[in-house]
Amino acid sequence: MVNSTPSHSIATSFSVQNLLNNQYPTITLEEYGYRVKKNFLFVPTKNGLLKVMDHFKSQTHIGVDTEFKGTALSLISFASTYLVAVFDVFLLKSVPEFLDFVKFILMDSKIDILVHSFKTDQYVLNYNFRILDPLKMNHVIELNDLIKDPNTGKKLGML
């Protein structure tokens, strides 16, 4: 799935400084060197965030995943039916709109959040953003809890 060599245009001009200067408000994962379906975006800047916020705020179901090491959160992924966006937390954490956006998506009870093994994700998100109240997150659908034998109630798969 991963192409080890990024495309020529990104490989020759891609840098963190260019990201910070908003030269790449969003980057398709294909441009970054991955072979994926369309509508997958890497979002490292405020301009990129502003381009995708309204789409996700208008959804009723969003898949959520995080990538972290220890309590250091590096990426948050949101997926709707039509768009997957991977947000670079390191580059966006100082952008006030980013915190407001993540809080809105995760805490708005009108948006069902689809997750797998969310307890650790929830801990890391709360550690980094101090925004998640587990008592108010009744709109989280744990996919690993849904896969059960209908006769015995025993969990199956994705454990």
Residue 155 pLDDT: 65
Q: What whole-number distance in Å separates Cα of residue 99 and Cα of residue 104?
A: 8
Residue 34 pLDDT class (50, 70, 90 cuts): low
Average pLDDT over the chain, rounded to an integer = 76
Q: Which of residues 72 and 117 earns the better pLDDT score?
A: 72
In a domain, 29, yes or no: yes
What mean pLDDT comes out for the span 150-155? 72
> Quick check: 83 pLDDT over 80?
yes
In a domain, 2, yes or no: no
In a domain, 69, yes or no: yes
Tens of pLDDT, residue by residue over 100-152, are 999 999 989 899 998 888 888 888 988 888 876 665 677 888 776 656 666 77
Tokens of 46: 């405020």
Residue 156 pLDDT class (50, 70, 90 cuts): low
Q: Residue 84 pairs with which residues in a beta bridge?
A: 40, 79
In a domain, 108, yes or no: yes
Q: What whole-number distance in Å separates Cα of residue 107 and Cα of residue 101?
A: 10
Q: Domain tally for the chain?
A: 1
Residue 20 pLDDT: 47
In a domain, 126, yes or no: yes
Q: What whole-number distance in Å separates Cα of residue 93 and Cα of residue 159?
A: 31
In a domain, 67, yes or no: yes
Domain containing residue 84: 8-146
In a domain, 1, yes or no: no
Residue 91 pLDDT: 92
Angle between helices 96-107 and 46-57 (to 10 degrees): 20
CA dist 18 → 41, 56, 68, 125 (Å): 17, 26, 24, 27
Residue 64 pLDDT class (50, 70, 90 cuts): very high
Residue 16 pLDDT class (50, 70, 90 cuts): very low
- 6-10, 15-19, 153-157: range with lowest mean pLDDT: 6-10
Over the Cα atoms of the chain, what is R_g? Answer: 17
Residue 85 pLDDT: 93
In a domain, 140, yes or no: yes
The domain that holds 22 is classified in CATH as 3.30.420.10
Q: Residue 8 pairs with which residues in a beta bridge?
A: none
